[in-house]
């Protein structure tokens, strides 16, 4: 009888990644050089200089042009070496073949950061990639931060630091404010900036990263997380080059209490391929991205319009006022609008609870023929009796059964008489309920919207948009409440023996805390009998061979062995079938294992993502995982609370929770197993590329959960991968 030997554990710490280093020179430079400055303001080298002069940048501006003595009324210099001082920021707008030399000259002169606006690099093929690699090497060897190439640059709004040629600045400059914008796509970032200006949203900084030879989207997020003038971060993301750094940047934003709202493009297969083509980077599975963003506390939105609406709402209310639950009260002056809002809210996962009896009585005391339940139909009386709105709003705002309110108005803010009624009522409610979240679903002129925002009322046009915005705020509030420090993990090598067989895999996993039933590997009929007496019946027999991946296909599994006589027959029969169907396979023994009681079956596993590392997955077995795609995914490691949340997110969780008279499954034991597996995967990420536990049988509540089968897939050496 042979037991798998203990696996030695040698730990090595994972070196932390630094995100956002050295980017202050992009946003608060005391001096800026324009390399490739042009007199022609329609050219890329002309527009940044024009904008700096037009909008009153207070620092020193140095045009670099080898052929001109003066550019746009400023003294020009032949090179950065000729400047009277080392500029803190350089904007590079020269042909791609000249960019590496220009960047080297900037670094040699002591420039702290450079923005390369020029295109024609990795997005154009092999020669462009070579030029881009040269630029990146300069950044790595000198410490000068380089944004781009092929980017739209950066803006520090309060300091009027402009390193962009964006047409969004041609007519006006953004108002300063608390919202920062980062984007890999220049046009997406620029469009978001323009939409924000139209909505009256104040901007702190904008940074577009382009091809990311040095500064990437994680650096951009981290820089805004550490900026005292930014309270909300809007991010347009196509892909990720450094998963650890992105996760660190998200943690920085979360620790700083700054909401990160992300529009991740490339959801479809076609979109993902387009994103990879556009940025010259690998495209990662959208399901993995979704899990990473959720785990990092980011709010993911599906459109640029929602990106702006959610970011604007958070800047108006402040992150601390995000709702802590999904219960909403809806108030309208029309039953039809109430029904539309109720439908839209329900579609977003919001709940409309019935208001308290006392609340309903207060509403009816104001308007006896109102509909007071929820949605609240205040009727047209709100337009003829100004006090109606204030009293009903106050009654609903006092009701503790709701986490937020949506007040809908189709026309009031465009009618001067009604506008004052609504503004007066809202002003009174805000005085009496300083922290109550009330979203206005309404259209309003710009000046009125500014007044409402100043009072702390986000104003969203459109019923679906208002409900989607509130749902995003609810997700943010829930994640703030669920904040937990990530489990500390140190890397360790895994002994090669663990990969050999199911038995050795389960032994290694058991040492890491994954529950398995009592079992052992035997080499003879006599050892099998001895094992049976030790373990107890009923039993399962399985062939043990490094050459047989699917044991059932060769008759290598027997279940329901209930006596010693049956054991002898089944043992001999199993070996005979395997010898006939897999004559070349190396047989190292037979696994004798306790047979599990019946229970719910889960599939559980991990897979190493090339960007984000090990991801842990769980789903109900059978058709729920394979056909319905009902699985939950998270970066490893997770703790038991996160594992429980993963289980509860499954569509079929009711089957574990006692649906239709079923006994409740031991969800707590399943969560412990998920957490243990995730820690194992994170600890051995250098050696293990995939783990399959199929099934994990979950017994009735209080009786545990057990891995019945396990497979460890080793990481291939680099030579084998190629």
H helices present in 115-242, as ranges: 126-142, 186-198, 217-225
Do 174-317 and 23-166 have the same topology in CATH? Answer: yes
Sort strands 232-237 and 260-264 into parallel, antiparallel or unpaired: parallel
Name which of 563, 557, 597 is nearest 581 in CA terms. Answer: 557
Report yes or no: 556 and 548 within 8 Å, Cβ to Cβ: yes
Output the furthest CA–CA distance in the chain (Å, rounded): 102
Sort strands 589-594 and 600-609 into parallel, antiparallel or unpaired: unpaired
Quote the pLDDT of residue 342: 96
pTM: 0.89
The whole-angstrom separation of Cα 691 and Cα 679 is 12
Report yes or no: 610 and 284 within 8 Å, Cβ to Cβ: yes
Q: Which residue has the tokens 């964006």?
A: 166
Report yes or no: 153 and 163 within 8 Å, Cβ to Cβ: yes
Q: Which residue has the tokens 């997380």?
A: 225
Kindly indicate the confidence band of residue 278, based on its pLDDT and cuts at 50, 70 and 90. very low
Tens-digit pLDDT profile for residues 196-253: 988 889 999 999 999 999 999 999 999 999 999 999 999 999 989 999 999 999 999 9
Report yes or no: 708 and 517 within 8 Å, Cβ to Cβ: yes
Sort strands 438-442 and 404-409 into parallel, antiparallel or unpaired: parallel
Higher pLDDT, 9 or 394: 394
600-721 has CATH 3.30.470.20 classification: yes
Report yes or no: 111 and 138 within 8 Å, Cβ to Cβ: no
Average pLDDT over residues 529-535: 96
Backbone angles phi, psi at 440, to 5 degrees: -95, 120
Q: Is the pLDDT of residue 284 over 50?
A: yes
Quote the pLDDT of residue 383: 76
Average pLDDT over residues 334-362: 95
Report yes or no: 502 and 710 within 8 Å, Cβ to Cβ: yes
Fold (CATH) for 322-481: Rossmann fold (3.40.50)
Exposure pattern of 368-382 as b/e (b: 16+ CB <10 Å)? eebbbbbbbbbbebb
Average pLDDT over residues 169-185: 96
Q: Mean pLDDT for the chain?
A: 91
Backbone angles phi, psi at 26, to 5 degrees: -75, -35
Quote the pLDDT of residue 380: 84
Q: Is the pLDDT of residue 624 over 90?
A: no
Average pLDDT over residues 142-155: 97
Q: Is the pLDDT of residue 282 over 80?
A: no
Average pLDDT over residues 584-604: 93
**Three-state secondary structure string covering 605-634:** EEEEECCCEEEEEEEECCHHHHCCCCEEEE
Q: What percent of the chain has pLDDT over 70?
A: 93
Where do the structural domains in the chain lie, given as residue ranges?
23-166, 174-317, 322-481, 518-594, 600-721
The whole-angstrom separation of Cα 74 and Cα 77 is 10
Tens-digit pLDDT profile for residues 626-684: 677 789 999 999 999 999 999 999 988 998 998 877 899 999 999 999 999 999 999 99
Exposure pattern of 113-146 as b/e (b: 16+ CB <10 Å)? bbbbbbbbbbbeeeebbebbebbbebbeebebbb
State both tokens at 434.
């300083």
Quote the pLDDT of residue 8: 28
Name which of 619, 595, 464 is nearest 532 in CA terms. Answer: 595
In sequence order, what E strands does 76-195 have? 89-92, 113-116, 145-147, 153-156, 161-163, 176-183
Average pLDDT over residues 689-700: 94
State both tokens at 29.
């430079």
The whole-angstrom separation of Cα 266 and Cα 273 is 7
Report yes or no: 10 and 41 within 8 Å, Cβ to Cβ: no
- The answer, yes or no, to whether the previous bond of 637 is cis (omega within 30 of 0) is yes
Kindly indicate the confidence band of residue 167, based on its pLDDT and cuts at 50, 70 and 90. very high
The whole-angstrom separation of Cα 1 and Cα 590 is 10
Quote the pLDDT of residue 550: 84
Report yes or no: 666 and 703 within 8 Å, Cβ to Cβ: yes
Q: Is the pLDDT of residue 567 over 50?
A: yes
**Which residues on adjacent β-strands are paired with residue 63?**
34
Higher pLDDT, 158 or 273: 158
CATH architecture assigned to 518-594: 2-Layer Sandwich (3.30)
By three-state DSSP, how is residue 407 classified? strand
Report yes or no: 413 and 445 within 8 Å, Cβ to Cβ: yes
By three-state DSSP, how is residue 202 classified? coil
The whole-angstrom separation of Cα 181 and Cα 237 is 11
State both tokens at 714.
């080793």
23-166 has CATH 3.40.50.720 classification: yes
The whole-angstrom separation of Cα 681 and Cα 253 is 26
The CA-CA-CA angle for residues 336, 406, 408, to 5°, reads 45
List Cβ neighbours of 386 (8 Å cut-off, separation of 6 or more): 421, 424, 425
Range of lowest pLDDT (3-12, 109-118, 506-515, 621-630)? 3-12
List Cβ neighbours of 125 (8 Å cut-off, separation of 6 or more): none
Tens-digit pLDDT profile for residues 480-505: 776 666 667 888 999 998 998 899 99
Neighbours of 175 (CB within 10 A): 12
The whole-angstrom separation of Cα 529 and Cα 572 is 12
Put residue 32 in one of left, alpha, beta given phi > 0 → left and psi -120 to 50 → alpha. Answer: beta
- The answer, yes or no, to whether the previous bond of 336 is cis (omega within 30 of 0) is no
Q: Is the pLDDT of residue 721 over 60?
A: no
Tens-digit pLDDT profile for residues 104-146: 999 999 999 999 999 999 989 999 999 999 999 999 999 999 9
**Which residues on adjacent β-strands are paired with residue 616?**
606, 634
By three-state DSSP, how is residue 41 classified? coil
Q: Is the pLDDT of residue 589 over 80?
A: yes
Q: Which residue has the tokens 């050795």?
A: 504
Name which of 436, 444, 549 is nearest 200 in CA terms. Answer: 444
User: What's the CATH number for 174-317?
Assistant: 3.40.50.261
CA atoms within 13 A on the CB side of 135: 35
């Amino acid at each position: 009888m042979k037991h798998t030997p203990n696996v030695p554990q040698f730990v090595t710490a994972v070196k932390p990644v630094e995100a956002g280093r050295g980017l202050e020179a992009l946003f608060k430079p005391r001096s800026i050089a324009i390399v490739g400055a042009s007199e022609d303001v329609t050219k890329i080298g002309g527009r940044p200089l024009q904008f700096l002069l037009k909008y009153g940048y207070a620092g020193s501006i140095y045009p670099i042009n080898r052929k001109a003595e003066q550019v746009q009324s400023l003294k020009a210099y032949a090179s950065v070496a000729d400047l009277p001082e080392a500029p803190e920021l350089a904007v590079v707008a020269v042909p791609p073949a000249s960019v590496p030399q220009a960047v080297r000259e900037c670094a040699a002169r002591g420039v702290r950061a450079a923005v390369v606006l020029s295109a024609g690099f990795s997005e154009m093929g092999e020669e462009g990639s070579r030029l881009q690699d040269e630029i990146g090497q300069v950044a790595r060897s000198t410490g000068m931060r380089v944004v781009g190439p092929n980017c739209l640059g950066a803006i520090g709004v309060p300091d009027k630091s402009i390193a962009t040629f964006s047409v969004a600045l041609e007519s006006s400059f953004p108002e300063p404010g608390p919202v920062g914008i980062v984007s890999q796509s220049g046009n997406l970032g620029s469009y978001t900036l323009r939409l924000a200006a139209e909505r009256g949203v104040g901007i702190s900084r904008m940074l577009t990263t382009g091809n990311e030879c040095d500064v990437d989207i994680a650096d951009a997020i981290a820089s805004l997380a550490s900026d005292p003038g930014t309270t909300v971060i809007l991010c347009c993301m196509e892909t990720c080059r450094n998963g650890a750094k992105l996760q660190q940047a998200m943690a920085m934003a979360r620790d700083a209490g700054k909401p990160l709202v992300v529009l991740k493009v490339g959801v479809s297969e076609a979109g993902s391929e387009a994103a990879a083509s556009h940025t010259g980077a690998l495209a990662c599975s959208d399901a993995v991205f979704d899990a990473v963003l959720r785990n990092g506390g980011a709010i993911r939105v599906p459109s640029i319009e929602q990106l702006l609406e959610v970011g604007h709402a958070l800047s108006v209310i402040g992150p601390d006022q995000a709702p802590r639950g999904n219960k909403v009260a809806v108030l309208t002056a029309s039953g039809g609008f109430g029904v539309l809002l109720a439908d839209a809210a329900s579609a977003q996962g919001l709940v409309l609870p019935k208001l308290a009896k006392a609340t309903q009585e207060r509403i009816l005391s104001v308007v006896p023929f109102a509909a007071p339940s929820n949605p609240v139909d205040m009727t047209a009386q709100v337009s003829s009796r100004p006090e109606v709105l204030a009293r009903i709003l106050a009654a609903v705002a006092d009701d503790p059964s709701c986490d937020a309110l949506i007040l809908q108005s189709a026309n009031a803010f465009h009618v001067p008489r009604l506008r004052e009624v609504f503004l007066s009522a809202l002003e009174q409610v805000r005085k009496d309920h300083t922290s109550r979240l009330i979203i206005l679903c309404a259209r309003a002129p710009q000046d009125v919207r500014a007044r409402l925002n100043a009072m702390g009322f986000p104003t969203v046009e459109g019923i679906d948009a208002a409900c989607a915005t509130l749902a995003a705020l609810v997700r943010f509030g829930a994640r703030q409440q669920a904040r937990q420090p990530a489990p500390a993990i140190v890397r360790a090598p895994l002994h090669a023996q663990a990969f050999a067989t199911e038995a050795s895999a389960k032994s290694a996993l058991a040492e890491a805390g994954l529950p398995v039933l009592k079992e052992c590997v035997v080499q003879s009929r006599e050892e099998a009998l001895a094992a049976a007496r030790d373990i107890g019946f009923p039993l399962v027999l399985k062939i043990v061979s490094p050459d047989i991946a699917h044991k059932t296909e060769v008759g290598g599994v027997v279940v329901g062995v209930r006596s010693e006589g049956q054991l002898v027959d089944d043992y001999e029969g199993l070996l005979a079938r395997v010898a006939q169907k897999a004559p070349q396979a190396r047989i190292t023994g037979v696994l004798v294992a306790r047979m599990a009681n019946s229970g719910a079956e889960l599939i559980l596993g991990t897979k190493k993502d090339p960007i984000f590392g090990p991801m842990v997955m769980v789903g109900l077995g059978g058709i729920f995982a394979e056909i319905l795609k009902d699985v939950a995914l998270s970066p490893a490691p997770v703790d038991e609370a996160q594992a429980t949340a993963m289980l509860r997110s499954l569509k079929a969780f009711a089957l574990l929770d006692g649906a239709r008279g079923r006994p409740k499954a031991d969800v707590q034991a399943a969560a412990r197993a998920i957490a243990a597996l995730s820690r194992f995967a994170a600890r051995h990420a250098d050696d293990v590329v995939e783990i399959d536990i199929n099934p994990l049988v979950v017994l009735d509540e209080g009786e545990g959960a057990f891995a019945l089968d396990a497979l460890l897939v080793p990481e291939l050496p680099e030579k084998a991968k190629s």
